[in-house]
């Protein structure tokens, strides 16, 4: 019987004396089968004998071979298998305090939970291209610290003791090494496939005429999509709203809104970087083909964060924050005025994102997302000034704005801006023939927060209607008050279903007799 050799692709932290310590890359000499899941052998690196799990290794052609068979990586192990779990103290991202969280380590990521029995992670840390190390604070309470550095940030942890830290660092380091090993193999395989495809094309091209035609075709000019101002991007694309934003949010709204923990679980850094590079080079992303839709959700957030200017614009940002600091509940009208002053593309993006928020919240029993999650995630991405930290003094105001947008979406983005009101008022005073109908108020209506572009109407008032919108809101002014109060001739909006239209000839009869019963409604 020929001797078998194996290579370790997944680290293993032994639990018994007779078990072997495994590090990624170690070579194992197989000696005998112990159980269906465990073998006995010798680690050729440290000459140690012991048993080891078969799922952590792949067979080599011989002792000196470096390349394992093709079946490696995700086909060999379960990516959801928990390799280690336990409590660690984690340093906060925005508020720099330390909190105790329960962590679970898998072959591809490290997730943390608020409690041990929690099923939904607060966040998951992708270990692709991550770097692990130890750090020590000057104070005694900062001992046993270590970190994981990813492409986006550095995560800092504190273990209970030195032994616990060594175990975590050892395992995470080996997982990172394995992911790097698998990634390099996958890249090599893709390069080989591309070379084979090129060879086939050259064979099928005959005398090279097809290649010549391809070369002579006009090249499609590509524009960067990430990190470009909205104005510049729309100008380059000849579009009103960036194409990527439209396609991505449409995909999220139609296909991914029920994804559990959407926007809370981070995507793979390497994949996100690849997608960003593809978009900047003019390539389109096939959203439906992505197996892990958390990557698409993370890409969407990443794009929003890379817009060079806050969506509120630097010019209006201070005014927005000033209004949001008010505590008297009268800021809705002022916010609507400011939103109407935003560039069209900024307002359109804000409108569509708010629509997505509402759809997510309508399915929160499935996706496990709530208003607090959305405000924490999207507040910095949409509103934070790009030269300030995401945990700056305005962070609570960004959250407040998200909640206000969700609660007042129809009001903020409906017809009825101050400029439209001025235009309606102007046309009304240019001639009395602008009136299109007359209505009697059947139900009293008072606007929320005393909004200035809506009318307060009482049962029995007579309204001159000058415009009917498609969204069941009409515009007009009160011409008669049943309670004999003074009429201010204010032009404003009111809900059409609160009013009944009447014939012009019946108005005099109504005023003389003072009753709704005598009227005939259209």
**Contact by Cβ (8 Å): 169, 134:** yes
pLDDT at position 402: 92
pLDDT at position 423: 44
For the chain, 522 residues long, give each residue's pLDDT as a single digit of tens. Answer: 568 888 887 666 666 667 887 777 788 898 888 777 788 899 888 888 888 888 778 777 666 555 444 333 333 456 677 888 999 999 887 666 889 999 998 888 899 998 888 888 888 888 877 888 887 654 555 788 999 988 778 899 999 888 888 888 888 887 777 776 665 555 556 666 666 676 666 555 554 444 444 444 444 456 788 888 999 899 888 889 999 999 999 999 988 889 998 998 888 888 888 898 888 888 888 998 888 899 999 999 999 999 999 999 999 999 999 999 887 555 677 888 899 899 999 999 999 999 999 999 999 899 899 988 898 899 989 998 887 665 567 888 999 999 889 888 888 886 544 444 444 444 434 333 355 778 888 878 887 655 667 888 888 888 888 877 655 678 888 888 877 677 777 888 888 878 887 776 666 666 666 555 555 544
CATH fold of the domain at 432-513: SH3 type barrels. (2.30.30)
Task: Give kind and range of the element (H or E) at residue 202.
Answer: helix 162-204
Report the distance separating Cα 366 and Cα 285, nearest Å.
26
Pair of tokens at residue 322: 């000033």
Residues near 408 by Cβ (< 8 Å), separated by ≥ 6?
A: 332
Task: Give kind and range of the element (H or E) at residue 29.
Answer: strand 27-33
**Contact by Cβ (8 Å): 453, 418:** yes
CA nearest neighbour of 257 among 406, 354, 372, 362: 362
- Domain layout of the chain by residue ranges: 5-73, 84-176, 230-412, 432-513
Task: Give kind and range of the element (H or E) at residue 7.
Answer: strand 5-8
pLDDT at position 215: 44
Phi (first) and psi of residue 101, to 5 degrees:
-135, 160
Which CATH architecture is the domain 5-73 placed in?
Answer: Roll (2.30)
Same fold, 5-73 and 432-513: yes
**Contact by Cβ (8 Å): 306, 242:** no
Report the distance separating Cα 407 and Cα 208, nearest Å.
63
Report the distance separating Cα 438 and Cα 457, nearest Å.
14
CATH number of the structural domain 230-412: 1.10.555.10
CATH fold of the domain at 84-176: PH-domain like (2.30.29)
Question: What strands, in cross-sheet order, belong to the sheet with 109-113?
Answer: 123-126, 109-113, 98-105, 84-91, 154-158, 145-149, 131-135
pLDDT at position 143: 83
Pair of tokens at residue 101: 């969280």
pLDDT at position 345: 93
Residues near 75 by Cβ (< 8 Å), separated by ≥ 6?
A: none
- Indicate whether this model's pTM tops 0.75: no
CA nearest neighbour of 220 among 202, 208, 236: 236
pLDDT at position 75: 37
Scanning the structure block, which residue is given the tokens 């359109």? 348
């Amino acid at each position: 019987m020929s001797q078998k050799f194996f290579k370790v692709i997944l680290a293993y932290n032994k639990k018994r004396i007779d078990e072997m310590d495994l590090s990624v890359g170690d070579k194992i000499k197989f000696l005998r089968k112990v159980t269906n899941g465990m073998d006995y052998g010798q680690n050729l690196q440290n000459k140690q004998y012991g048993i080891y799990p078969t799922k952590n290794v792949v067979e080599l052609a011989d002792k000196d071979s470096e390349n394992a068979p093709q079946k490696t990586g995700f086909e060999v192990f379960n990516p959801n298998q928990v390799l280690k779990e336990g409590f660690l103290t984690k340093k906060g991202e925005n508020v720099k305090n330390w909190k105790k969280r329960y962590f679970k380590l898998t072959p591809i990521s490290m997730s943390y939970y608020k409690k041990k029995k929690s099923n939904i992670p607060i966040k998951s840390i992708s270990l692709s291209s991550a770097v692990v190390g130890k750090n020590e604070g000057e104070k005694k309470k900062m001992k046993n610290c270590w970190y994981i550095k990813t492409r986006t940030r550095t995560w800092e942890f504190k273990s209970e003791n030195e032994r616990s830290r060594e175990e975590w660092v050892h395992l995470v380091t080996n997982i990172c090494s394995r992911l790097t090993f698998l990634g390099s193999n996958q890249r090599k395989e893709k390069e080989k496939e591309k070379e084979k495809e090129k060879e086939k094309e050259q064979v099928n091209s005959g005398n090279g005429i097809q290649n010549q035609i391809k070369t002579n075709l006009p090249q499609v000019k590509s524009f960067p999509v990430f990190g470009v101002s909205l104005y510049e991007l729309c100008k380059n694309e000849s579009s009103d709203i960036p194409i990527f934003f439209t396609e991505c949010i449409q995909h999220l709204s139609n296909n991914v809104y029920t994804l559990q923990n959407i926007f809370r679980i981070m995507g793979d850094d390497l994949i996100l970087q690849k997608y960003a590079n593809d978009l900047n080079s003019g390539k389109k992303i096939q959203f439906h083909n992505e197996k892990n839709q958390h990557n698409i959700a993370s890409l969407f957030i990443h794009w929003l964060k890379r817009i060079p200017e806050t969506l509120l614009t630097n010019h209006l940002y201070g005014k927005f924050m000033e209004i949001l600091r008010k505590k008297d509940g009268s800021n809705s009208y002022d916010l609507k005025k400011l939103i109407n002053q935003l560039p069209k593309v900024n307002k359109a993006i804000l409108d569509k994102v708010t629509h997505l928020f509402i759809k997510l919240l309508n399915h929160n029993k499935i996706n496990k997302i709530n208003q607090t999650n959305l405000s924490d995630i999207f507040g910095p991405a949409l509103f934070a000034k790009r030269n300030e930290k995401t945990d700056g003094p305005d962070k609570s105001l960004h959250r407040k704005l998200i909640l206000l947008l969700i609660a007042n979406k129809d009001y903020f983005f409906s017809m009825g801006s101050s400029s439209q009101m001025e235009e309606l008022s102007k046309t009304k005073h240019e001639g009395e023939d602008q009136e299109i109908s007359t209505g009697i108020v059947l139900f009293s209506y008072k606007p929320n927060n005393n909004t200035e572009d809506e009318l307060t109407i009482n049962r029995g008032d007579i309204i001159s209607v000058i415009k009917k919108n498609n969204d069941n809101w009409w515009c007009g002014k009160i011409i008669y008050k049943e309670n004999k109060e003074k009429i201010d001739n204010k032009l404003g909006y009111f809900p059409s279903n609160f009013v009944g239209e009447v014939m012009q000839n019946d108005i005099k009869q109504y005023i003389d007799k003072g009753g709704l019963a005598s009227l005939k409604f259209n």
